[in-house]
Amino acid sequence: MNRAEFLAEQNRLTREFEDDAPSTGCISSTNLKACSMCMFSEGLENCYRCTHCADCLNCSNLSHSRGCEACHSSAYITGSKYCTGSAYLIQCTSCSDCTYCFGCVGLVKKDFHLLNVGYSRNEYFQLVGKLKKELGIR
């Protein structure tokens, strides 16, 4: 076997695997691709230990989350990317150890923020309720 034959066979195997991309150890889930240990979820790709999630990509240890990408160890997050250790985020990017944030980017250990501005708990929920209706987010 020469270099060209090796690379051709390796590429063929990779393409074949990517087309199939089996999921292992997943329970009561549908439409999964290359996932492991996910439960009660649908539409996940390349996720690990996600439960009650939908339409997520490259995530791990998420719970009750939807439409996320590359998020880890978080719960109840929606439409967020690159967030970790957080909860109740909506459309946030690169937030870590945050709760109740909407549209925030790059925050660390913040609560009740909207577009990176802090609000009281009551103000936050009033503003977010109105915004969610206007943006068609449930």
pTM of the model as a whole: 0.85
pLDDT over 80 at 83, yes or no: yes
Long-range contacts of 39-46 (CB under 8 A, 24+ apart): 45/21
Name the one residue in this structure whose structure tokens are 């967030």.
83
Q: Of 17, 37, 70, which residue is a domain's last?
A: 70
CA 42 to chain CA centroid, Å, is 12
pLDDT in tens, 93-113: 999 999 999 999 999 999 999
Q: Of 27, 44, 70, which residue is a domain's last?
A: 70
Together in a domain, 43 and 107: no
Task: Give the range of the structural domain holding residue 20, as residue numbers without chain letter.
Answer: 1-70
pLDDT in tens, 19-47: 666 788 999 999 999 999 999 999 999 99
Q: Is 39 exposed, middle or buried (0-12, 13-18, 19+ CB in 10 A)?
A: middle
Number of domains in the chain: 2
pLDDT over 80 at 18, yes or no: no
Together in a domain, 61 and 1: yes
Q: Residue 128 and residue 138: Cα distance in Å, rounded?
A: 11
Q: Please, what is the average pLDDT of the chain?
A: 94
Together in a domain, 93 and 55: no
pLDDT in tens, 62-75: 999 999 999 999 99
Q: Of 55, 70, 85, which residue is a domain's last?
A: 70
